[in-house]
Amino acid sequence: MRLGGSGFMALARPFALLVALALAVLVACGDPTAPPATADEVAYLQVVAHHDDDLLFMNPDVRDGVRSGHRLMTVFLTAGEAEEPDANGYSAARQAGARAAYARMAGVPDEWDGSAMALAGGRTAERYSLKSRPRVALVFLNLPEDADPRAAGGRGALSRLWRDRGGWVSVDTLVPTGGQVAEPSRYTGNGLVKVLAKLMEGFRPTVLRTQDPDPDPDYPFWLPLHDHPDHVMSARFAEAAARSYRRSPDRPALSVVGYRDYNIEDAPANLGPEQQNDKIGHFGEYQKHDKLAHGPAYDRWSRRMYYRWDRGTAWVGQAPDGRLHAFAVRGKDVIGWRQAGDRWESAAVDRPDGPLAAGLAVGRGVGGLTVCGRRLDNDGMTCRDDRGWVGLGSPDPGDARVGVPAVAAHRDGRLALFVRDARGGVSRVEQDGDGRWGSWDRLGGADVRDGLSAVPGPDGAPEVYAATATSVLRWAGGWDSSFPAVAPAGAPVAVADAGGTTVVVPVADTGEVLRATRTGGAWSAPVRGPGPGGPGRPAAVSADGAVVVVGRAGDGGVTTDASGAWAGIGGTPLDYPAAAVDPAGRLVVLLVGPDGRLHTSVRAERGGAFGPWQATP
């Protein structure tokens, strides 16, 4: 990450870039025919532009990967030299900072084995493995950073390589002072894709973490891309390489997770104090080596972590026969699982009409169990029920600001679908009595963030809850200002049962969760208490007469709160767990793991213990 060649953010500096068509963000990529990984095959690969991007935008996820004991490798595309006079020395210092931060995350001495690494096309890179944890490795390609005017062709080296895929443009790498390589390597755009694809073939990752290839256009800086060009291009190159890698034979399933970058500074702090301090401490090790990595923005980034399109917690639902079904996006496909007694099995789902974002919403409508998603190629909604996929269009066609869907049913079984629209409000589309979807209605609202929660209201009509930067909004035939005021750290989750409606809200900056319950038309006094300890939104479900909250723990596992106290139940979620009640009345917690499998843990009775995690074959 680099704020600008002089170390200050060029807030409105225009870039003379021809913006390539944005690649779809494949948050759970992979060929559905590729087998899930075994536990021994799990491997994490990060591809980032600069030496601190992983620390600022992907932590605490990277930290959890480092501490997991599985193989982990981070590839840094640029030398990060910017406009520094001693480009080679400054790049070497940033490398030292990255190594120091990873050693601290691993809790071992900052001692590494370095070597020159042979790459495709006769190129070389610098590779370092942590002596006390040799499964942790860092690879530095050392391509010119965007702000360096000394690169062949001037500034914007990665952007030029991306635009020119015919091999007419090439740039040479830098040679950091005292490093592992003595001569530069020459890259074209296609050459960089081949290098990354070959790295993937050799490393065989099951998780690929990237930056944001298509940033939210609401962020007003770093135009025209709305983020640092190197961030965007590193993500696009990584995803292009992943598409090539997925054609490799005998590879395990690959999950791709994209992370928001600069624009998270405008979002509420969604890490609790303990995780903030941990992340700041890891970045502090890096800062000792980078004289330019200081200022208020670095502090804001260190208190947040946001996925570009997160999975959410509404990806499981109950079919008309009572069985639970779960869904996940994998490349251009949606994969499914269904409950079969005490086990789960794969369930075939036909391919949707376009690539989808990770955030799926599942409900039961006129056409049976229905899964809905947001298309990445045209920003529209699509849903599948027993009759197949059908496109619903969009309230704002072609606008990247349209969010992922939330669904809830009317009392008569008709579904309503809600999204955050491009105006920062909420829009809705509903089924008629025959299950046909109608036209979009704008419900209004302002400053709504992506990640809505919809449930049936007391009158049988769906209502929706949404987070803004400073409050939680409720719509039920109109906007209701009576919900208790709280600054949310992320999306609220609403649970409706016979006793009323409970809304669970992660509280900004504190790590707490707030609960409020509506019975008889009035909200209870909000109750704030400790949160799960990890990042992101919780899941919630009504089970055995109580609302149970499920979230990520501070150690990266899963934790539940069924009686006012959190209890860890283990597991290794790739992002956010979900929860549901099965036909036998048992509470089921579900997650998608870094092995690409669905994992479930079951609590048979209230107050009982959760059983061991079971992985779907």
Mean pLDDT across 346-369:
94
User: How many Cα atoms sit within 13 Å of 77 on the Cβ side?
Assistant: 34
Q: Do 307 and 260 contact (CB within 8 A), yes or no?
A: yes
CB 206 within 8 A of CB 42: yes
* 152-209 confidence digits (pLDDT tens): 999 999 999 999 978 899 999 999 999 999 999 999 999 999 999 999 999 999 999 9
d(CA 446, CA 421): 10
- The pLDDT, as a whole number, for residue 606 is 86
On the question of a cis peptide bond just before residue 224, with omega within 30 degrees of 0, the verdict is yes
390-441 tens-digit pLDDT: 999 999 999 999 999 999 999 999 999 999 999 999 999 999 999 999 999 9
Check whether 109 has a pLDDT greater than 80: yes
pTM: 0.93
Mean pLDDT of 74-98: 98
pLDDT exceeds cutoff 60 at 16: no
| All structural domains of the chain | 41-301 (3.40.50.10320), 316-615 (2.130.10.10)
Greatest mean pLDDT range, 48-57, 336-345, 468-477: 48-57
How many other CB atoms sit within 10 Å of the CB of residue 145? 31
Q: 552 phi and psi, to 5 degrees?
A: -85, 135
pLDDT in tens, 244-292: 999 888 889 999 999 999 999 999 999 999 999 999 999 999 999 999 9
Mean pLDDT taken over the chain: 92
**Res 383 pLDDT > 70:** yes
Give CA–CA dist 436/406, Å, rounded: 17
DSSP 39-97: GGG-EEEEEESSTTHHHHHSTTHHHHHHHTSSEEEEEEEE---TT-SSHHHHHHHHHHH
- High-pLDDT (> 90) share of the chain, %: 85
| Strand 186-187 with 587-592, pairing | unpaired
What is the C-alpha separation between 196 and 184, in angstroms, rounded?
A: 17
Mean pLDDT of 358-385: 96
**pLDDT bucket at 607, cuts 50 / 70 / 90:** confident
Band of the pLDDT at 32, cuts 50, 70, 90? low
Query: What is the reported pLDDT for 467?
Result: 94
CA-to-CA distance for 96 and 286, rounded, in angstroms?
8
Indicate if the pLDDT at residue 581 is higher than 80.
Answer: yes
Q: What band does 27 get if pLDDT is binned at 50, 70 and 90?
A: very low
Whether 3 has a pLDDT exceeding 60, the answer reads: no
Residues 6+ apart with CB under 8 A from 381: 372, 373, 374, 375, 391, 392, 393, 394, 405, 417, 419, 429
Q: What is the pLDDT of residue 21?
A: 34
Going by C-alpha positions, the residue among 332, 383, 448, 425 that lies closest to residue 24 is 332
Name residue 551's beta-bridge partners.
559
User: 296-325, pLDDT tens digit by residue?
Assistant: 999 999 999 999 999 999 999 999 999 999
pLDDT confidence band for 28 (50 / 70 / 90): very low
Q: Which residues on adjacent β-strands are paired with residue 385?
A: 388
Structure confidence at residue 12 (pLDDT):
35
Distances (CA, A) of 211 to 140, 215, 601: 17, 9, 31
d(CA 286, CA 414): 54
- What pLDDT is recorded for position 245? 94
In a 10 Å sphere around its CB, with 0-12 CB exposed, 13-18 middle and 19+ buried, how is residue 211 labelled? buried
Helix (H) or strand (E) holding 567: strand 566-570
